């Protein structure tokens, strides 16, 4: 006798805490530790949770399978959140990080050739060269603000590879200051129910306006010079300015306007240096606290490089160097959280998420989840090399997201990964790092994951 097919269960609203007291408490918790809040809610309510941030309804996906649904399987139904666009739009314009829909798809298509593997590989020599120039100014046993050093180095590298030029000391100083102001202002706006619009002349808004204008002036000046020269310098900006959709019906070609090129260039410049500088800063801190791991890294570098500068070809022979970067990206993912907003009601994990409500994707919390990582708080690069295969291949889809995933995976992920490994190898074979005795170390989850009190360290030259 045949039995009728079971009907699928209707989607329900996600579980989660309710009530005014919870809504108020979440406002404080989200400002102080958004990843901790998401992890706590996930443990109690499951892989998808609804909650209130004051008067604002929100969701969080807290397991690999629901993250994968949002970022990959049903990505077309999600846009960047309205809040993200409001906060980052003044500085990034309509660049890839904040745009959506057909415009985003076209911009991604135009920008993609700039990140072809052959283009990226051509920047390896520049990365090593700039690092060696920085190291030439170091003196053994001196104290240095390593986070500042890494920020200046990666800014110099991204400027050279992006614009084919080097910033003046004045421009580099101003951009560094502008980035710091942008981090602080953006963090405040992301974690507030209400903020004054940018046109209100408060001291904070004035600093924010100065920061946006400073970065825009530098970038637009370079774009104007390049348009005038019509020169292809082989850099990322040349690729953006030369990008075209091909011939249209009327015989013309369609490429990027100056404003579109500016938006993408600023996005790449800001996202392309601060994330890697944070990764390296956390790497030097972690290595300073684990001399046995630092010794193993040095042994690999000494065996493979024997004191010479690393090249792109060497990276395949440096598995432990690669494992250290992977572990730092797990412990301290620069993009520690992202968010999406469904453009229509959508069912995720059997629950209905309402249109236009923010969905948090807490990457940091996932990377520290003991269900997927043994001793999740420990710095253990060997976890990526154990049992003859990489942990990365055995993890559930969506359990390791240092660069996001899906159609909106970071367009510069290969650039960033290559840069981090080359800089780590170049510096670590010649220098050791010791944390300053008075240095407080605490994570500061701004737009990216920064060290709250900087990272002052003593640098000690190796005898080669």
For residue 373, give both structure tokens. Answer: 């990582």
Q: Is the dihedral of CA 219, 225, 226, 231 positive or negative?
A: negative
* Cα 464 to Cα 458: distance, rounded to the nearest angstrom: 19
Q: Which pLDDT score, from 0 to 100, does residue 264 have?
A: 85
Q: Which pLDDT score, from 0 to 100, does residue 19 have?
A: 86
For residue 446, give both structure tokens. Answer: 């701004």
Q: Which pLDDT score, from 0 to 100, does residue 113 have?
A: 78
Q: Indicate the helix (H) or strand (E) that contains 37.
A: helix 20-45
Segment-wise mean pLDDT, segments of 10 residues, the chain, 464 residues: 56 87 79 82 92 88 95 96 86 88 88 79 92 96 96 91 80 82 76 69 84 86 81 77 56 69 84 90 98 97 96 96 97 93 95 94 94 95 80 88 93 92 97 97 89 96 80
For 343-383, the DSSP string reads: SS-EEETTEEEPTT-EEEE-HHHHHT-TTTSSSTTS--GGG
Work out the number of other CB atoms within 10 angstroms of the CB of residue 369.
18
Q: Which pLDDT score, from 0 to 100, does residue 387 have?
A: 67
Q: Which of 160, 283, 278 is nearest to 222 (CA)?
A: 160
Alpha helices, DSSP H, located in 290-337: 291-305, 319-331
Phi, psi of 364 (to 5 degrees): -60, -45
Q: Does residue 51 contact residue 22 with C-beta atoms inside 8 Å?
A: yes
For tokens 């590879």, what's the residue? 161
DSSP code of 195? -
Q: Does residue 265 contact residue 259 with C-beta atoms inside 8 Å?
A: no
For tokens 């390593």, what's the residue? 146
Through-space distance between the first and last CA atoms of the chain, rounded to whole angstroms: 81
CA angle 360, 365, 366 (to 5 degrees): 90
CATH superfamily membership of 20-245+254-461: Cytochrome P450 (1.10.630.10)
The edge-to-edge listing of strands for the beta sheet with 142-145 is 142-145, 456-461, 431-435
* Cα 320 to Cα 326: distance, rounded to the nearest angstrom: 10
Phi, psi of 243 (to 5 degrees): -60, 140
Beta partners for residue 184, in sequence order: none
Using DSSP bridges, classify how beta strands 449-451 and 443-445 pair: parallel, antiparallel or unpaired.
antiparallel
For tokens 């397991």, what's the residue? 63
The residue ranges of DSSP E strands in 141-215, in sequence order, are: 142-145
Q: Which pLDDT score, from 0 to 100, does residue 464 have?
A: 60
For residue 139, give both structure tokens. Answer: 């003196």
For tokens 């100065």, what's the residue? 210
Q: Does residue 269 contact residue 158 with C-beta atoms inside 8 Å?
A: yes
Q: Which pLDDT score, from 0 to 100, does residue 251 have?
A: 43
CA angle 304, 305, 310 (to 5 degrees): 120
The residue ranges of DSSP E strands in 68-197, in sequence order, are: 78-79, 142-145
Q: Which pLDDT score, from 0 to 100, does residue 66 have?
A: 95
* Cα 306 to Cα 300: distance, rounded to the nearest angstrom: 9
For the chain, the 3-state helix, strand and coil shares in percent, each to the nearest 5, are 55, 15, 30
- Burial annotation 226-257 (CB, 10 A radius, 16+ → b, else e): beeeeeeeebbbbbbbebeeeeeeeeeeeebe
Q: Which pLDDT score, from 0 to 100, does residue 216 have?
A: 86
The residue ranges of DSSP E strands in 220-350, in sequence order, are: 244-247, 253-255, 338-342, 346-348
């Amino acid at each position: 006798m045949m039995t009728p097919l079971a009907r699928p269960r209707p989607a329900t609203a996600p579980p989660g805490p309710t009530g005014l007291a919870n809504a108020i408490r979440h406002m404080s918790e989200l400002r102080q530790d958004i990843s901790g809040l998401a992890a706590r809610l996930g443990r109690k309510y499951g892989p998808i949770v609804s909650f209130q941030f004051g008067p604002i309804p929100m969701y969080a996906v807290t397991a690999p399978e629901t993250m994968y649904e949002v970022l990959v399987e049903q990505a077309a139904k999600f846009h960047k959140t309205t809040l993200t666009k409001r906060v980052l739009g003044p500085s990034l314009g309509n660049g890839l990080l904040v745009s959506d829909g057909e415009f985003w798809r076209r911009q991604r298509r135009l920008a993609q050739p700039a990140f072809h593997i052959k283009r990226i590989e051509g920047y390896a020599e520049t990365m090593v060269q700039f690092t060696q120039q920085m190291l030439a100014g170091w003196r053994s046993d001196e104290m240095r603000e390593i986070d500042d050093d890494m920020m200046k180095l990666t800014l110099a590298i991204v400027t050279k590879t992006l614009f084919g030029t080097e910033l003046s000391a004045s421009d580099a100083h101003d951009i560094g200051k502008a980035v710091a102001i942008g981090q602080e202002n953006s963090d405040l706006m992301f974690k507030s129910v209400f903020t004054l619009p940018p046109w209100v002349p408060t001291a904070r808004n004035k600093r924010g306006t100065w920061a946006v204008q400073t970065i825009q002036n530098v970038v637009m000046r370079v774009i104007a010079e390049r348009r005038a020269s019509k020169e292809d310098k082989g850099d990322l900006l040349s690729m953006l300015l030369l990008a075209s959709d091909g011939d249209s019906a009327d015989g013309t070609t369609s490429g990027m306007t100056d404003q579109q090129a500016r938006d993408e260039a600023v996005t790449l410049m800001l996202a392309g240096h601060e994330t890697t500088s944070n990764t390296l800063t956390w790497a030097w801190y972690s290595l300073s606290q684990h001399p046995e791991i630092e010794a193993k890294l040095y042994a690999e570098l000494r065996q493979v490089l024997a004191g010479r500068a690393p090249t792109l070809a060497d990276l395949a022979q440096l598995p432990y160097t690669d494992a250290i970067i992977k572990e730092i990206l797990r412990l301290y993912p620069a993009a520690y959280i992202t968010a999406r907003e469904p453009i229509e009601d959508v069912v995720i994990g059997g629950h209905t998420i309402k249109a236009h409500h923010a969905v948090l994707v807490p990457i940091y919390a996932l990377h520290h989840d003991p269900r997927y990582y043994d001793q999740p708080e420990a710095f253990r690069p060997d976890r990526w090399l154990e049992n003859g295969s990489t942990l990365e291949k055995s993890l559930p889809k969506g359990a390791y997201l240092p660069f996001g995933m899906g159609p909106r995976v970071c367009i510069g992920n290969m650039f960033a990964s290559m840069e981090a490994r080359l800089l780590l190898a170049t510096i670590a074979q010649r220098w050791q790092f010791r944390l300053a005795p008075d240095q407080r170390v605490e994570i500061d989850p701004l737009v990216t994951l920064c060290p709250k009190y900087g990272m002052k360290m003593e640098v000690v030259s190796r005898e080669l």
